[in-house]
Structure 1
Amino acid sequence: MKSLKSNAHLLILSWFFIALFSNFSAYAQAVETGNPSPLKFPTPKGIVNQLFYLQRDPNTNTIICELNVDKDGEVIANNPIKVYWLRYGEKGEKEDLSYIQRKFAYGIQAKAIGNDQYELRFVSHKKLPMYLVKSTEDKKYHVYVTVNNKKIQLERIFLRIEGGSFWLPNVKYVELKGINTANKTPTIERIKV
């Protein structure tokens, strides 16, 4: 029964993510302060190779996107990103994505584009490319995304969901939080859906 209930929750989350990004006639804009989530979300800490994380209503469970390295610290070229849950609602347990989540919602496809760089796309939304690149400044890998002509070193993605139904959630916006690479200042860009 718990497995069935868990699979139902996973299916819901998949539909949330698909619905969120399926209509990219949405536009990005500078962040507004209205309509914040009523939940207080924890910030993941102590994850050595964390690149960014994804959070969404209706709970605090968090998707971690981590650099996938071998025992020598080298990026695994055919699978450079590890994606998994931190189940804050269940004592912070680490858990792999389910098959449905990996294939239809939160999985990330990576394509090598040369010079140890990778193009990344969520399986549920291929219209917003992200790039895994080794920084010339700190010599570490980071994920970058361009929104509103701003190149952002990505730290967090947040999906705001307010109501709706099992099959058709009401996704209000997506927030992309990180560092504006042009001036090294924190920035938040919001994509309305």
Structure 2
Amino acid sequence: MPALLRKTSRGRSLTSLLCAVCLTLATSLLTVSAASAKPTLSILSTQSTQQLPTANPAFKHPKEPGQLFFLQRTLNANTVVYTARFDAEGNLDAKQPIAIYWRRFADQGQTMPLRWYERMFGFGVRVSSGAVSNRHSLTFNALKRHQLELRQTGPFSAALFTRQNNRDYQLIYAYLDVDESGLFPKVTGLRLYTSDPQTGLYVTHTIAVSGGAYKE
């Protein structure tokens, strides 16, 4: 699970995350403050619903072209967005199939590139080509043990999948619970919002996070 970067101010303010991340991604949006810090993730519950739950009604959800996944935190509305990149024929870009950036909803809603340390230690991903055409294995830099799969689902269309309990779920978004009561913010929980291709239902995976020291 990713770790938090040092805060520049109290009011500004974490994947993978992952993620992030996922069990997953969502922790993906954090950066490890100590090289040895490795949070423990434990699934508490899995719940299916007809409608996609909203983790925080006060936070706007992004709707970006080619959107695969996004991650939000209790700290503020700023959101990390993951989108698919395609070539001229509508296939996933072989060299860089994913673009990642901030949507700064806590400011004016503008986009902002990831800082190098956010990309290297938190929100960034590593992608490798899979055995099947137009499928790619993916791991978040902050959660390297959990592997996801990026799949082409049609021309100019793709989806990101996580495997939980021997089932594949399509990732939609993740929400990190952050405790700010101590010297540094600490991630205490993760809610991973997915859809089940077999049932058509939305599935929320609630995950407890423990261990590790974090800074934003």
> Which of 72, 90, 93 is equivalent to 2:107?
90
The answer for the alignment partner of 2:125 in structure 1 is 108
Distance 1:17 1:7, change over 3 A: closer
Q: 1:7 deviation in Å?
A: 7.2
The answer for the alignment partner of 1:173 in structure 2 is 189
Q: What is the aligned length?
A: 180
Letter in 2 for 1:23: P
Task: Provide the TM-score with structure 2 as the length reference.
Answer: 0.72
Q: Check conservation: 1:39, 1:59, Cα contact below 8 A.
A: no
The answer for the alignment partner of 2:23 in structure 1 is none
Pair 1:123-2:141 in alignment: yes
Letter in 2 for 1:118: H
Q: Check conservation: 2:55, 2:175, Cα contact below 8 A.
A: no
Amino-acid identity (%) = 22
Deviations 1:59-82 (A, max 9, x none): 100001000123443321121110
Unaligned 5+ residue runs, structure 1? 1-5
Letter in 1 for 2:153: S
The answer for the alignment partner of 1:3 in structure 2 is none
Q: For 1:176-187, what aligned pairs fall within 5 Å after superposition?
A: 176-187=192-203
Task: Provide the TM-score with structure 1 as the length reference.
Answer: 0.79
Q: Check conservation: 1:144, 1:153, Cα contact below 8 A.
A: yes
Per residue, is there more helix in 1 or in 2? 1
SS of the aligned residue for 2:180 comes to strand
The answer for the alignment partner of 2:204 in structure 1 is 188
Higher relative contact order (CA 8 A, sep 6+): 2
Q: For 1:59-70, what aligned pairs fall within 5 Å after superposition?
A: 59-70=76-87
Unaligned 5+ residue runs, structure 2? 16-26, 48-53, 210-216
Separation in 1 of the partners of 2:94 and 2:158? 13
